[in-house]
Structure 1
Amino acid sequence: MQDSIKLSRVEPALDDLSYPTTRRDAAAAFDGVTLLLADGSTDLGDVIRGCYTDEFADSKELYYELTMAMPIEAVGEPGQSEGDA
């Protein structure tokens, strides 16, 4: 497993797990992996622990839950919108 991973590369990395998998097992698999965000970093295992679902049927389900559990730093500066002039 990599020591760090960019947010844009998380989805393919989730494919490496065997599914179905539990939140606990997925978090353990990524403990110590630094997730590089738009503004900072966090432990990927900790973010997975923050998900609400206890079991994931596939990597797409885990990725969806993961994006919902991401800290605000994941997407850049809070309150900014690409569409506002």
Structure 2
Amino acid sequence: MSREVKLNEALLETATYPLSVATARQEFEDVRLVYADGTEPLAAVLDRVEDEQFDSPDEAQSSIYNSIPAEGVGEPGQSGGEG
């Protein structure tokens, strides 16, 4: 059974660092990230990460955020152009 995790929830803080991307895929293979417009397996996001290793939870989170689709961030129906 998979775990659904929102982007703002702590997840990778429980891992031991440095953490290879391959190890992160294995340790968190049951995790699905919940986006504003759906979900995606964390493993699929990690496949798009260019790093081979994370040195800290902050680095891992930043790399993941940079690899998620822009449509996934924000509230459903929210427009990035509204101010």
Compute the TM-score of the two structures, normalised by the length of structure 1.
0.81
Code of the residue aligned with 1:43 in structure 2: it is: P
Q: Aligned partners of 1:73, 1:27: CA distance in 2, in Å?
A: 23
Q: Runs of 4+ in structure 1 displaced over 4 angstroms?
A: 76-79
Residue 45 of structure 1, aligned match among 43, 46, 68 = 43
Q: CA RMSD in A?
A: 1.9
Aligned residues: 80
Aligned counterpart in structure 2 of residue 14 of structure 1, from 12, 15, 18: 12
Kindly provide the amino acid, as one letter, of the partner of residue 81 in structure 1: G
TM-score by length of 2: 0.83
Equivalent position to 1:74, from 68, 72, 77: 72
Using the TM superposition, give the Cα deviation of residue 7 of structure 1 relative to its aligned residue in structure 2, in angstroms. 1.3
> Aligned to 1:70, what secondary structure does the other structure show?
coil
Identity within the alignment, %: 28
The answer to which structure has the higher helix fraction is: 1
Please give the alpha-carbon distance, in whole angstroms, between the structure 2 residues aligned to 1:73 and 1:25.
27
| Shift in Å, 1:79 | 6.3
Gaps of 5+ in 2: none
